[in-house]
Amino acid sequence: MGTGGSIDERILAQRILETLHLVMRRIWAEVKGNHEGVFPAQSYRLLGMLARRPYTLTELARAQAVRPSTVSRAVRALSDLGWVEMERDPADRRRVWIRLTPAGRRVLRRLQLRAAARLGRRLARLSPEQRLLLAQAMDLLQQAIGGDSPH
């Protein structure tokens, strides 16, 4: 902490990013379980994105900050599992839309529930006051990045 109980925003930003990375890495390592060989974290992120709306390969690659060929391989693997489907745009046959299938939605939901349960067990170690403080901090973080707080 800086003087007077303040902290430089760059230092705080670095701490937040390091903590988010640590949380995701540890929880993901515990959650991926049976899908370990075929289910990298990128696939989880893709399923999460596709749960909101269909995307094109180009949009997915841009959002993931990777090459389209990388996303194409991941989408093909998810398609082989039956978790996503690809459909040509009737208005522009060059464009392919990737959509989450009902099976993909179920897999994503199970992974999300497992992740929340794992993280919840770790958070149970905190006092009620600490959990409230953490929830308030998460609301502030969402507000700072322009996201809508669910509370």
Quick one: how far is CA 10 from the chain centroid? Answer: 23
Interior CA angle at 147 toward 144 and 150, to 5°?
110
Interior CA angle at 98 toward 142 and 113, to 5°?
45
Residue type, 47: L
Mean pLDDT, the chain, integer:
86
Q: Mapped to the 3 state alphabet, what secondary structure does the chain carry?
A: CCHHHCCCHHHHHHHHHHHHHHHHHHHHHHHCHHHCCCCCHHHHHHHHHHHHCCEEHHHHHHHHCCCHHHHHHHHHHHHHCCCEEEEECCCCCCCEEEEECHHHHHHHHHHHHHHHHHHHHHHCCCCHHHHHHHHHHHHHHHHHCCCCCCC
Residue type, 11: I
Confidence (pTM): 0.73
pLDDT on residue 26: 83
How do residues 35-54 score in pLDDT, each as one tens digit? 545 566 678 889 999 999 99
Interior CA angle at 74 toward 69 and 77, to 5°?
125
The lowest-confidence range among 13-17, 25-29, 39-43, 80-84 is 39-43
How do residues 62-88 score in pLDDT, each as one tens digit? 998 889 898 999 999 999 999 999 999
